[in-house]
Structure formats: structure tokens, C-alpha cells
Structure 1
Amino acid sequence: MKKSYGLTFKKASIELAQCPLCRGRAVTQGVFYELPCDHCNASGWVAAATGEALALDELVTQLSMVLHAARRQIEQLRRPQAGGPEAGYQGSNRLGAGGTNYTGD
């Protein structure tokens, strides 16, 4: 484990896994109707390393971090990536005079 001193300025990301009891549904089947899952605090997610439920404030933070990472990945996949010969003409390669785009034409 890495030694660290003082305060940490970044929130540590905890890997999440689906609750094994409710299988990520946040509810379990009762006799007549569905009940909130007690194992995962009715969230459907537990810590992957320990299998224990997270505190609600920690769970909200971790789910927000996962959501932001997923949105960044979706935006990255939506942006078209130029390929082939036109790839050199897209954007700035900063090789021209004053840091402008240089195409070699």
C-alpha cells in the first residue's frame, strides 16, 4: 500500500457490483408483493471488494462518479473520428508558422 501524508484532494473511486440477493433490481420478492432489498439498502449496488452495502451518502457520490464517466465515454464515442488521408487535415497539428496547422501542400 502506498504511503500518503496529509489530506487527499480527490475522492477515491470504489468499484461497484450488483447486489447478489436482488441482482441489481433493488427489490426482493415477498409473499404477496416486492420488498426493498435490505442487503443493499434498496439501491441494487454493493462494494465489489467486500460485498457490503455502502452508506447512502457514499453511494450517491460513487454512482455520480460512474454516471459522469459513462457520459464522458458516450460523448467520446459520438464524436466522429477522421481516418485515412483526411485525418491530417482535421484539427491543428501546430507545425506551421506561429503554431498554426501545416498540411504540407
Structure 2
Amino acid sequence: MIKSHGPAFRKQAMELAQCPACRGKAVIKGVFHDLACVQCNASGWVAGATGEALPVDELVTQLSLRLQAAQRQINELKEPRVSGPEAIYQDNNRRGAGGSNRTLD
């Protein structure tokens, strides 16, 4: 069944691009000090398809989705997956005393 009205069940990540005015830095150089970039709401990110600034509530959600994806990727890289004979050696085979690992070395 396709949803025809109302908010979506899940929030979808949208394509973001660096702001062309501030080049993703969220500030632009003023004469004496840095000024918040008004083209991207001082975030450094704009909608990838249109190049328009996102509303603050949508921007927070999209940045949170990106951060969560980056955290998942970091956690996957921290836990290296072993394969082949090493995977069998590292896995607990429960053949030792009390169900402990026995490798027969």
C-alpha cells in the first residue's frame, strides 16, 4: 500500500552540498570580522538539488542522519572482519572445559 498523504513514516536523507558562498565554512569574511553566512543559515550546507538553504529544523535532522551514518561507518572500520581459517580460529567453538574455546595448538 502506498502512502498518499501525511508525513512520511521514515525520514529520508537528502543530498547536501557545500554552500557556494562560504565554501562550507559557515562564515564569510567581513571587513573587520567574520559574518554568519546568510545563504546557508550559517551551516555550510545547502540542498544538493536546488542549492537553497534548508530550514533550521530540516537542517538539524539531515545533519543528524549524516552523523549517524558516519558513526556506523567508523564503528564498522574499528571492528575488522576476519575471514577464512582465521575466522574459525578466532570463533569460540565451545569444545574446551566448561564450554571455553579450544584450538588444539
TM-score of the superposition, structure 2-length normalised? 0.77
TM-score of the superposition, structure 1-length normalised? 0.77
Q: Which residue of 2 aligns with 1:5?
A: 4
Q: Which residue of 2 aligns with 1:22?
A: 22
Q: Which residue of 1 aligns with 2:69?
A: 69
The letter of the residue matching 1:42 is A
% identical aligned pairs: 60
Q: Alpha-carbon deviations, 1:72-99, whole Å to 9, x = none? A: 000001002113312245559xxxxxxx
Paired residues in the alignment total 90
Superposition RMSD in Å? 1.8
- Displacement of 1:13 in angstroms is 1.3
The answer to which of 21-30 and 8-17 deviates more is 8-17
Output the CA distance in 2 between the equivalents of 1:81 and 1:12: 29
Output the CA distance in 2 between the equivalents of 1:77 and 1:24: 26
Output the CA distance in 1 between the equivalents of 2:5 and 2:19: 34
Gap regions ≥5 residues in structure 1? 93-105
Runs of 4+ with deviation above 3 angstroms: 88-92
